[in-house]
Amino acid sequence: MTGEKRATIIIVHGAFEHAGRYSHLVKKLEQDGFEVKINDLPGQGRSEGKKGHIRSFNDYIQKVSEWVEEADEDLPVFLLGHSMGGLIVTRTLQQLKIHVDGVILSSPAFSIKNGASKPMEVLSRGLNIVWPSFRVSSSLAPETVTTNQEMIDSDRSDPLIIDKVSIRWYIEFQRSIKKAFKEVKSFPDLPLLIMQAGDDLIVDRQQTYQWFNLVCTSEKSYKEWPGFYHEIFNEVKWQQSYLYLYNFIQQQLIKQ
């Protein structure tokens, strides 16, 4: 599709990844007439700073706020957050009064399966005080996030995928999950679409659905894809989820 752009889509990627992993999604959105903005989050990909480390979850929130401010003010703006990116988008909208026209959360990280053991949790709280930048191995196995063998092979040789995170990052991440539920009523009244992998090995889909039921918006939709692993836009049949995303955005644009 050529001509004027119809809307801006700001993509917020998840943990242990980077903007480059969304090139196929960006290309498809641009072909369909959308302007797409996606950059590496602090401590991820090619961004500056110590990899896998943040001072505060507000580092992420501030960055997303900046991306929204930089968007073309003449175009509708939609936020698309995947996994931790979904949590970041949620916390940004709960904390800041920024204007967007719709929100899409892809397998949002409202809980994590197979988290740290209780002894490690206790140790983490202590290290967060005395050595917050200390990093531990905590990578995601490529075969647990997608069933797409081509993407799995690519991830295994991708030098931009981090394999360690800091104690501070872990503590801030866990705190933000709790705040996403505690402050659920602070989520603004915006059109909301949650797209959840039905066979997610990373996040607990039941917790995603619980948050969905708690949030108060006048328009919200929840969709699961049975057989899809965590990264619904990296599955072999990812265009199924893309079509759902496209139709949601199209519905919002028709109203304007």
DSSP 159-200: TTS--EEEHHHHHHHHHHHHHHHHTGGGS-S--EEEEEETT-
Catalytic residue among 13, 18, 53, 230: 230
Tell me whether residue 204 is one of the annotated catalytic residues.
no
Tell me whether residue 72 is one of the annotated catalytic residues.
no
The C-alpha atoms of residue 89 and residue 21 are separated, in whole angstroms, by 19
Tokens 């619980």, residue?
210
Burial of residue 159 (CB within 10 Å: 0-12, 13-18, 19+) is exposed
Tell me whether residue 13 is one of the annotated catalytic residues.
no
Catalytic residue among 18, 83, 166, 176: 83
Report strand pairing: 102-106 vs 77-82. Answer: parallel
**CA-atom Rg of the chain in angstroms:** 17
Half-sphere exposure of 28 (CA within 13 A, CB side): 14
Catalytic residue among 18, 106, 155, 200: 200
The C-alpha atoms of residue 124 and residue 186 are separated, in whole angstroms, by 29
Catalytic residues: 83, 200, 230
